[in-house]
């Protein structure tokens, strides 16, 4: 691993070059504060992490995180040295291996989960904010339909995978209603920092386009992302990788609403080449 100084964020280096003495300050959503405090502590001069204040009291100077790549001149490339992920912490460790590795449940049409197969985390639904028309459309567009969700889980289990439930919010009930018999990761997923501890124990995360995809990529963990045909522009287009998250692989709908083809691609990739995507 390169030295810590070589991995200082580009924003910090730009400030030093300009002769500015104060360090970088990040104002972020309160739910992310603990995650970033832990995940950026490895830097030799970590930024100051603060919860974002109400809009009326925010400082007039500064940049939005969405504007930062362009301002730093790196729109299409990951800053050098961050290929392993920029959020890292010794608190997020794969050892000791506490993740439950077998299930006592039986009777599932997809087969019970026993043995020592690859540990796969699954998120099948995007954030549910149905009171807003735009968010409701995005939820429907990004969320895996029940038929394809069942087929995905069955295909993974047939290949010996141990599938863990990483779904958040009210859609956890959907997994239970479908009797998918997913494994409990054994640790609360309430909050991004606790979730990072779970992700460090997994061999692969399969997720739709939601916050989990960005967390997995920021940690440099192996992740496969199922994308709708008209995906968010940040995922670019017609590519199977992203320059911002080298550890992620993208599986796109061939046409609007065609989750069947995307799931087929993912299951074939799992059968053919999973050892190249995260087995320890």
Indicate the domain borders of the chain. Answer: 5-71, 119-276
Predicted confidence at residue 97, as pLDDT, reads 77
Predicted confidence at residue 91, as pLDDT, reads 92
By the 10 Å C-beta count (0-12 exposed, 13-18 middle, 19+ buried), 67 is classed as: exposed
Comparing C-alpha atoms, which of 197, 198, 196, 229 is closest to residue 214? 196
Rounded CA gap, 273 and 164, in Å? 20
Predicted confidence at residue 80, as pLDDT, reads 57
Predicted confidence at residue 27, as pLDDT, reads 87
Work out the angle at residue 229's Cα, subtended by the Cα atoms of residues 163 and 132, and round it to the nearest 5 degrees.
85
Indicate if the alpha-carbon torsion angle 73, 77, 81, 86 is positive or negative.
Answer: positive
DSSP annotation of 230 = T
Residue 171 contacts residue 124 (beta carbons within 8 Å)? yes
Rounded CA gap, 101 and 110, in Å? 17
Residue 216 contacts residue 192 (beta carbons within 8 Å)? no
Q: Which DSSP string do the residues of 118-130 spell out, in sequence order?
A: -EEEEE------T
Predicted confidence at residue 162, as pLDDT, reads 93
Predicted confidence at residue 156, as pLDDT, reads 95
Predicted confidence at residue 169, as pLDDT, reads 83
Predicted confidence at residue 127, as pLDDT, reads 78
Predicted confidence at residue 93, as pLDDT, reads 87
Predicted confidence at residue 133, as pLDDT, reads 82
Strand runs labelled E in the chain: 25-28, 48-51, 119-123, 162-165, 204-208, 223-227, 248-252
The segments of the chain whose pLDDT lies below 70 read: 1-23, 55-83, 101-116, 274-280
Query: Alpha carbon of 248 to those of 127, 170, 199, 211, 278: distances in Å?
Result: 20, 26, 14, 14, 10
User: Among the CATH numbers 3.40.50.2000, 3.30.450.40, 1.10.10.10, 2.60.40.650, which is that of 119-276?
Assistant: 3.40.50.2000
Comparing C-alpha atoms, which of 94, 115, 110, 90 is closest to residue 40? 90
pTM: 0.83
């Amino acid at each position: 691993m390169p030295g810590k100084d070589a991995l200082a964020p580009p924003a910090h280096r730009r400030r030093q070059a300009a002769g500015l003495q104060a360090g970088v300050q990040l104002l972020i959503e309160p739910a992310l504060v603990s995650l970033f405090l832990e995940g950026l502590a490895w830097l030799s001069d970590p930024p100051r992490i603060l919860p974002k204040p109400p809009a009326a009291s925010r400082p007039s100077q500064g940049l939005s995180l969405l504007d930062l790549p362009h301002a730093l001149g790196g729109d299409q490339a990951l800053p050098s040295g961050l290929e392993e992920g920029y959020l890292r912490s010794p608190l997020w460790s794969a050892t000791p291996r506490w993740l439950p590795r077998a299930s006592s449940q039986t009777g599932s049409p997809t087969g019970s989960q026993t043995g020592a197969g690859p540990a796969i985390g699954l998120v099948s639904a995007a954030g549910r904010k149905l009171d807003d028309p735009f968010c409701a459309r995005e939820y429907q567009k990004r969320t895996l339909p029940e038929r394809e969700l069942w087929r995905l889980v069955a295909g993974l289990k047939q290949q010996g995978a141990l599938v863990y439930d990483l779904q958040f919010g009210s859609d956890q009930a959907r997994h239970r209603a479908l009797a998918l018999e997913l494994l409990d990761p054994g640790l609360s997923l309430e909050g991004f920092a606790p979730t990072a501890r779970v992700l460090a124990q997994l061999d692969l995360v399969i997720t739709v386009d939601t916050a989990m995809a960005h967390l997995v990529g920021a940690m440099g963990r192996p992740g496969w992302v199922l994308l709708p045909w008209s995906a968010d522009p940040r995922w670019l287009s017609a590519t199977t990788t992203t320059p911002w998250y080298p550890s992620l692989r993208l599986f796109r709908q061939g046409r609007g609403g065609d989750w069947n083809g995307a799931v087929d691609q993912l299951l074939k990739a799992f059968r053919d080449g999973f050892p190249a995507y995260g087995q320890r």
